[in-house]
Amino acid sequence: MRSVALKYVCLALMLCLCVATSIVAARHVPIVIIHTTDLHGHVLSARDYDGNENIGGLLRCATLIKEWREKYPNVLLVDIGDLYQGAIESYLSRGLIMNRALEWLGYDAWVVGNHEFDWGLRTLSTAINDSSVPVLGANIGVRPGASNPLSRVQPYVIRQVDGVRIALVGLTTDAIPTWSRPHLLGDVIIEDSVTALRSIMPAVRAERPDIMILLAHQGYRPFGDSPANQINRIARHFPEFDVILGGHSHQPVDQSYVNGILYSQAGYFGIWLGKVRLVYDTVAREIIEESGQVQHVSEEIAKDPALKEALDADLTRARALANQQVGELAHALSARSSTPGQSGVQQLICRAIAAATGVDVVLHGRLANETLAAGPVYRHDVWRIVPYENTIGVLQLTAGELQTILEENVAQIQRSQFMGVHGIKYELHEAAEPGSQIRNLRLADGSAIHPRRRIGVALNSYVLASGGSRFLAARRLADDPLTRLEMTDVDTRSAVITYLQRNRPLAVDDNASAMQRVRASN
């Protein structure tokens, strides 16, 4: 009897020992994911959309990144796309300075954004091949049988942090073909986000990650998705993601929840730095705490001197170029006008394009809400009004085809995308039915356009690709062989700089007479 009792005592002790061992083995692992997005090449300080100067930029972010790494034991660092294009310092090296900065800071991965394609596939391929940091884009592929110039782009990577396996899955925005003309994309295709994830998620799950994080160059829209931003749809189809880090829409979002998934987004230009904090229970195998925060990167945050020194040659060259005077204005030019589309800044851009291409008619939108002051104009001023490297294409259009584009343009009248005109005049009858709002279309001298005559009309590559589906008629006409689209090697910014250099001091008046706005219509 004693031996039986002793046996049960021993079994009880062993059971207690096993439970105690299990309790000791259970750990709560804190993990921090630091994230940037839409840096657009801003290593140096940036200017926000409200006009606040000398804030943000990767040099200031680097100071916070170092502080957070010292404060938190387990850190991942990622970027959510639109890394290269935008600022002068990145433009000069075609993105290579950003590669060096990300490598120096120890990024774990970055995602391809839509503006990565702005300089064409050859430049993008060179930059990606130069990147030692993994580049992600699960929905980036090539046409069947074509070689892949972006073969180093991966759908996901696995990172191990203090024994916890973390999957970082990357997506770019689906709508890239609606902003980039085919000559920029070549054989590269952008797959639907959900379709792409259905293909690669079995492989991700087979890696047996403890945590799954989606890095999506797409923004969260609380009132519904758009073709470029599919976060709601993705979250419904893939609820297994623990965190979604977004981008593209340039909005700072501390934290929101999409179908129960924590969502955060770090704004733009390094003016905000994102931080997601997780606590993972290794026994329950689940996240037991989570929170998201984006910190404003103000002027008070110092620039990291070591990173600045590492990039000094490129930064010195960028400052020298930015401060070159390229022209002089007789009076200030505003991006706004009492007549939509006919502001001084838009007329400067239109005249510059007309001079560079030799065409009589130009249509162009407002690229930024910036004013040029009277007096000297420097390269950095031109960069403010023309932040993108759009190239110019020329279509040979009949009056009817031109009127079709102008009718489509009416829908954008309250937006920055509304195109002003140069070289033509017309009446806009706002109260009329769509399709009959543009009337009395004629040349700038008042003469009628013969219905069978084709005239050269210049538009930028963004509009010719449909401007994010805003100008589908313009895209259809650009793809029609009868319009004989000629893509030039003229980019908008260079055209403006050349025009300013050749015309100083320059006086440009708002060309209000180009569009007569008729509020009532019979």
Domain with residue 469: its CATH number is: 3.90.780.10
Q: DSSP letter string over 297-335?
A: --TTSPPPHHHHHHTHHHHHHHHHHHT-EEEEESS-B-S
* Same domain assignment for residues 106 and 46: yes
| pLDDT on residue 511 | 59
Q: Tokens 């020329």 identify what position?
A: 394
What is the biggest distance separating any 2 CA atoms in the chain, rounded to whole angstroms? 118
Tell which wins on pLDDT, 404 or 516. Answer: 404
Residue 422, token pair as written in the block: 């140069």
Q: Can you list the positions of beta strands (E) in 188-271? A: 188-190, 211-216, 243-246, 252-258, 261-266
Confirm whether 11 is domain-assigned.
no
Average pLDDT over the chain, rounded to whole? 92
Domain boundary among 296, 318, 340: 318
State the pLDDT confidence band at 133, using cuts at 50, 70 and 90: very high
Confirm whether 10 is domain-assigned.
no
| pLDDT on residue 341 | 86
How far is CA 247 from its chain centroid? 7
The Cα-based distances of 434 to 404, 407, 430 in angstroms read 10, 7, 9
| pLDDT on residue 19 | 43
Q: For the chain, what is the domain count?
A: 2
pLDDT digit string, tens, across residues 265-277: 999 999 999 999 9
| pLDDT on residue 320 | 96
State the pLDDT confidence band at 490, using cuts at 50, 70 and 90: very high
* Same domain assignment for residues 292 and 346: no
| pLDDT on residue 430 | 87
Give yes or no for residue 20 having a pLDDT over 80: no
Between 96-105 and 121-130, two packed helices, what is the crossing angle to 10 degrees? 30
| pLDDT on residue 22 | 44
Domain with residue 248: its CATH number is: 3.60.21.10
Lowest mean pLDDT among 25-34, 210-219, 230-239, 368-377: 25-34
Confirm whether 16 is domain-assigned.
no
Residue 353 DSSP SS3: helix
* Exposed/middle/buried for residue 414 (C-beta within 10 Å: 0-12, 13-18, 19+): exposed
Domain boundary among 297, 318, 339: 318
pLDDT digit string, tens, across residues 165-213: 999 999 999 999 999 999 999 999 999 999 999 999 999 999 999 999 9
pLDDT digit string, tens, across residues 26-79: 689 999 999 999 999 999 999 999 989 999 999 999 999 999 999 999 999 999
Give yes or no for residue 23 having a pLDDT over 80: no
| pLDDT on residue 439 | 93
Asked if residues 125 and 150 have their Cβ atoms less than 8 Å apart, the reply is yes
Give yes or no for residue 433 having a pLDDT over 70: yes
* Same domain assignment for residues 286 and 400: no
The radius of gyration of the chain from alpha carbons, rounded to an integer in Å, stands at 27
* Same domain assignment for residues 497 and 461: yes
Asked if residues 81 and 66 have their Cβ atoms less than 8 Å apart, the reply is no
| pLDDT on residue 338 | 84
Note down the domain range covering 297.
26-318
* Same domain assignment for residues 430 and 293: no
* Same domain assignment for residues 456 and 309: no
The Cα-based distances of 262 to 62, 241, 251, 272 in angstroms read 25, 9, 16, 18
Asked if residues 487 and 181 have their Cβ atoms less than 8 Å apart, the reply is yes
Q: What percent of the chain has pLDDT over 90?
A: 85
* Same domain assignment for residues 311 and 341: no
| pLDDT on residue 509 | 67
pLDDT digit string, tens, across residues 312-346: 999 999 999 999 999 999 999 998 888 888 899 99
* Same domain assignment for residues 303 and 155: yes
* Same domain assignment for residues 239 and 92: yes
pLDDT digit string, tens, across residues 377-408: 999 999 999 999 999 999 999 999 999 999 99
| pLDDT on residue 24 | 46
* Same domain assignment for residues 72 and 158: yes
Q: Tokens 């733009």 identify what position?
A: 268
